[in-house]
Amino acid sequence: MLLKTKPIFLFMLPVWLLSGRASFKRNVAARVHLNPASLTYRQPVLDLLQREKAAGRRIALTTATDRELAEAISDHLGLFNEVHATDGQVNLKGANKAAFLGECYAETGFEYVGDSAADVEVWRRARAAYVVGSEGRARQAAAVTTLKITIIEPRASLRTWVNALRGHHWAKNLLLFLPLALSHNLVLEPVLRTALGFALYGLCASGLYILNDLLDLHSDREHPWKKERPFAAGDISIPEGLLASFILLSASLGAGFFLDSQFGFALLGYATLTMLYSLYLKKVALLDVFVLSSFYSFRILAGALISDTPLSQWFLAFSLFFFLSLAMAKRYSELFHASDLVKAGNSGRGYHTGDREVLLSLGVGSSFSAVVIFSLYVHSQDVRVLYLSPEFLFLLCPIVLYWLSRTWLLAHRGELNEDPVTLAIRDPVSYGVALASVAVIAASIIQVKWW
C-alpha cells in the first residue's frame, strides 16, 4: 500500500531497514492508512477465538505487526482483551515473542495459535499449540508441545493459480505472431523463435500481473469484481505471490536475453514500464490509458524483433489508436462499475465519475481514427506487394469499426465487466467478426478478376 500511494518511499525502504525490522515496520505503519474491514480473515480462526472467549478465556493478540496496525485490527474485530505487538524497538517475532510471552504469562502459562515456521519457538514455550496451516507445520508444533487443534488451510488449486497468473490474458501474446502473419513469412525458424517469445512474454506478464495485484490489494478488496481475485480473496498468500513473481520474472527476462538481445531489451522495457504503471502512472488520468494501450504495441514490436520482421509505420499507427480505444473502454467501464470507489478516492486511478463522458468521446474518436489509418495502410504500396487483390482489405474497415462500436455500446450499457480483449475470447459475436476478417484476408490474397 505504501509503494502504491507514495512510490518515492521505495528508495527509503533500505534506509529504514538498516535501523532494524522493528523500526522499519514503525516507519511503514506511520505512513499508511489501513482499513481493517478490507482485510481477509480466516473464518475458522475467528470461530475458534469466539468459542474460547465465550468459554471465559482471555484472548490476546500477539503479533509481529506494528502496534498501530495491530490495534486497528483488534478494534475492528472486537475479540481481544489485550494487544501485544512490535513497538518500534523490539520485533515481536520468533524468539522475541517466545521470551515475551514466557515472561508475561510465567504464572499461568499460555496457549498459542500460529501458522509460520517462526512460531515453533513460541510453541516451545507454550502449554499447547493451535496450528493453522499444513500437516507439516502441525508435526513441528507437536514435537515441542501439546497439539490441541489443527486448522488445515487448503492449498490453492491449479485453477486458482491460473487465475492469479491471468492465464486467459496469454491470448494477448498472440500479437507477437502478427508481424509474421502480415509479412506472410511463415517459415519454420522464425515461427519457432516467435513461439518461444510468446511463452517468455506470457511468463513475464504473469509475474507482473501478480505484482500488480499485490500492489492493488487495498483497492481490489473493495472493488465490485476484483475482490474475487486470488490475492484479494486470500486464496493465495502474499509470500507465495512474491516468490512466484520473482521466479517468473527472473526466468523470463534471463531466457529472453539469451534467446535474442533485442527481444530481451523489449521485454525488459515492457517490464519496467509495467512496474512504473503499477506504482505511479496508472494514477495519472489519460496518461494511464496511453501507457496501457502501448503494452499491446510492445507485443507487436517484440514479435517483429524476435522474428526479424520489418513493421509498417502505418500498421503501428493503426495499432496505437485501435488499442487506445480499447484502453479507454476499459477505464470507462471501471468508472461505470466502481463509482463509489472513485468518489471515495480509493479506486487507484486519477479520474472523477464525471470523466466518463470525456473517455467516451476520446475512445470513440480513437476508433474512427484507427479505421481511417487502416484504410490508408491498405492503400499503401507495402500492402500491394503482399496481396494480389488488396481492394478486398477495405472491407475490414466496416468490420473493425463494427466491433469497436459494439464494444463501446457494451461499455455504455454497463455490460463490459472486463478487459475488452479478454471479453472477445468468450464472445460469440467476436468470433463471428474474426471469421469474417479471415474470409476477407483470404480473398485479398487470391488473384480475382473483375468482369
- CB-based contact 70:83 (threshold 8 Å): yes
The per-residue pLDDT for range 152-190, each reduced to its tens digit, is 888 888 888 988 898 888 988 999 999 888 887 778 898
- What is the spatial distance between Cα 312 and Cα 304, in angstroms, rounded to a whole number? 11
Instruction: Provide the mean pLDDT of the chain.
Output: 86
Q: Is it the case that residue 119 has pLDDT exceeding 50? A: yes
Residue-wise pLDDT tens digits, 42-76: 889 999 999 999 999 999 999 999 999 899 999 99
The pLDDT tens digits for 231-245 are 887 888 888 899 999
Helix (H) or strand (E) holding 121: helix 120-125
- Residues 407, 252: Cα–Cα separation, whole Å: 33
pLDDT tens-place string over residues 198-220: 999 999 999 999 988 888 877 77
Specify the pLDDT at position 389.
83
pLDDT higher than 90, residue 384: no
Rounded-to-10 torsion of CA 42, 44, 46, 52: -150
What is the 8-class DSSP label of residue 60?
E
Surface-to-core class of residue 437, CB atoms within 10 Å of its CB (0-12 exposed, 13-18 middle, 19+ buried): middle
Give yes or no for residue 328 having a pLDDT over 80: yes
253-300: pLDDT as tens digits = 999 999 999 999 999 999 999 988 888 888 888 999 999 999 998 899
Q: What is the set of domains in the chain, with CATH numbers? A: 2-152 (3.40.50.1000), 158-445 (1.10.600)
* Pick from 301, 114, 272: nearest CA to 208: 272
Q: pLDDT at position 12, please?
A: 64
| Residue 94 near residue 110 (C-beta atoms within 8 A) | no
C-alpha cell at 443: 480473398
pLDDT at 451: 40
Is residue 361 scored above 90 in pLDDT?
yes
pLDDT at 50 (0 to 100): 93
Name the band, by pLDDT with cuts 50, 70 and 90, for residue 450: very low
The pLDDT value recorded for residue 145 is: 94
Q: What percent of the chain has pLDDT over 90?
A: 49
Residue 449 clears pLDDT 80, i.e. is over it: no
pLDDT tens for each residue of 385-396 = 788 888 888 999
Report the pLDDT value the prediction gives residue 327, as an integer from 0 to 100. 92
